[in-house]
């Protein structure tokens, strides 16, 4: 039915226009064609609270999570001992940034998490769109389970019958048919993301682009 994947994704985007949807979001394991944030109100509140401040890499997220458990503060040496991060990177690309955005406080040579700064746990649906190559779509979609609660492959309705549903069930990947009508052929069960760092990373990347965000309509975001 569709000439290009872009045309099909545009139809899918229109179908989800009332949801909080982002197009082409990079995750470190490929670029998901669509990402839907289901806890929309909480995410918008999170954006407002952050006021543009964001964690820019996975090491910053790891250090912030580590500090959440250390109420009495942590020395630089202890951070080095507990993470595979070079001292130079830890100091200049991780801690300096966390302090600059107010996520971490340094006092008496100890590092503390700012209790007013928090991470956001998004309820994420990721969708990989393919015209007819369900195998390639499935392979990519499996990678998105590292950060998303539900993952789908969307196929042109003219080719969706070719998909092996048993393979989709095996990996808990949902299947969507896209045509004049959008149909969920196989639902994806909700399951915790495999990598919590990547789960938080999606939220941080969206905050990074927050000046471009508009919660009332689809925006195209490239990372």
Please report, rounded to a whole number, the percentage of residues in the chain having pLDDT higher than 90.
83
Is a pLDDT exceeding 70 seen at residue 5?
Answer: yes
Count of residues making up the chain: 223
Output the pTM of the full model. 0.87
In the chain, which residue ranges form alpha helices assigned H by DSSP?
5-15, 40-50, 58-68, 76-81, 87-89, 96-100, 134-144, 165-170, 196-208
- Ranges of each domain in the chain: 5-46+121-220, 56-113
Q: What is the pLDDT of residue 163?
A: 98
65-100 confidence digits (pLDDT tens): 999 989 999 999 999 999 999 999 999 999 999 999
Is a pLDDT exceeding 60 seen at residue 37?
Answer: yes
What value does the mean pLDDT take over residues 119-142?
97
CATH architecture of structural domain 56-113: Orthogonal Bundle (1.10)
What is the rounded CA–CA span in Å between residue 33 and residue 221? 10
Q: How many CA atoms lie within 13 A of 53 on its CB side?
A: 19
By the 10 Å C-beta count (0-12 exposed, 13-18 middle, 19+ buried), 155 is classed as buried
Q: What is the pLDDT of residue 211?
A: 55
């Amino acid at each position: 039915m569709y000439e290009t994947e872009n045309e099909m994704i545009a139809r899918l985007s229109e179908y989800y226009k009332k949801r909080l949807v982002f197009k082409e979001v990079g995750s470190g394991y490929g670029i998901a064609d669509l990402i839907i944030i289901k806890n929309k109100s909480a995410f918008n509140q999170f954006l407002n609270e952050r006021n543009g401040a964001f964690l820019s890499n996975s090491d910053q997220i790891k250090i912030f999570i580590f500090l959440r458990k250390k109420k009495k503060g942590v020395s630089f040496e202890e951070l080095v001992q507990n993470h595979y991060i070079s001292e130079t990177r830890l100091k200049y690309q991780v801690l300096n940034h966390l302090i600059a955005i107010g996520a971490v406080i340094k006092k008496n040579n100890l590092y503390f998490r700012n209790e007013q700064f928090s991470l956001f746990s998004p309820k994420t649906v990721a969708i990989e769109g393919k015209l007819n190559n369900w195998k390639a779509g499935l392979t990519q979609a499996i990678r998105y389970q590292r950060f998303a609660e539900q993952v789908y492959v969307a196929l042109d309705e003219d080719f969706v019958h070719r998909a092996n549903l048993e393979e989709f069930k095996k990996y808990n990947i949902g299947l969507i048919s896209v045509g004049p009508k959008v149909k969920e052929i196989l639902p994806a069960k909700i399951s915790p993301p495999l990598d919590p760092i990547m789960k938080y990373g999606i939220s941080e990347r969206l905050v990074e682009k927050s000046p471009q965000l508009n919660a009332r309509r689809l925006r195209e975001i490239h990372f």
